[in-house]
Amino acid sequence: MTKIKGTPAMDMAALAVLGLDPKEIEERVIERISDRVLSGFSCDEDGEFECDSRFKQNLDEKIKGIIDAKVAALAGEHVLPNVHAIIEGLTLQKTNQWGEKSGEKYTFIEYLTKRAEAYMTEEVNFNGKTRAEDTYSWSKFGTRLAYMVDQHLAFQIKTAMEAAYQNANATIVGGLKKAMEISLENIKSSLKVTTEVKSR
């Protein structure tokens, strides 16, 4: 005789006589309990709707955390050590409109160096914009590198001048204060206070 957990002892043979499969009943009970635990209901302006229960949301979150941690551990062990070699060994080559390879092959480092060199030597105007970026009133200033150096120097000079102005201002104020103190001392020392006693 088989018993279904959580129910009174039942004669499974009696269920079979009624045309009910005890195994199917057990599966349906488990499925119903699972549905009740994993599903919930919520409300909005359109009415009530079915949604994941708080238990299922917490369970999903914990499972995701475990998976993320495992993936990160595997990446750290197997992928990241090879990234350096992959990047240095990567070869890039231009293709035409049909996907056929054309032009020179470059390693990633060579490609990166060429792109950086092209960027730094590109001609810009006084605002650091290329002819394509400012087509209306573009006038050549020089290379982007020259523009960046000029901007850096202008910033450094401005910072130094502001500091010098602050120092000069503090020195002038301090000097004026000292001069006023000396003048007041001179005036005080030149004044004579006399007291006369009148006889009666």
Distances (CA, A) of 153 to 77, 97, 127, 131, 158: 46, 45, 15, 24, 8
Asked if 144 contacts 121 with a C-beta cutoff of 8 angstroms, the reply is yes
Model pLDDT, residue 8: 46
Q: How many helices (H) and strands (E) does the chain have?
A: 6, 6
The pLDDT assigned to 200 comes to: 54
Q: Note the pLDDT of residue 6.
A: 47
pLDDT value of residue 196:
54
pLDDT at res. 1: 43
Q: Which residues of the chain have pLDDT under 50?
A: 1-2, 4, 6-9, 195
Q: Is the Cα torsion angle 18, 24, 28, 29 positive or negative in sign?
A: positive
Q: Is 126 helix (H, G, I), strand (E, B) or coil?
A: coil
Q: Specify the pTM.
A: 0.41
Which two structure tokens, joined as six digits, stand for 109? Answer: 């480092």
Token pair 């009624």 is found at 18
Of 101, 118, 120, which Cα lies nearest the Cα of 110?
118
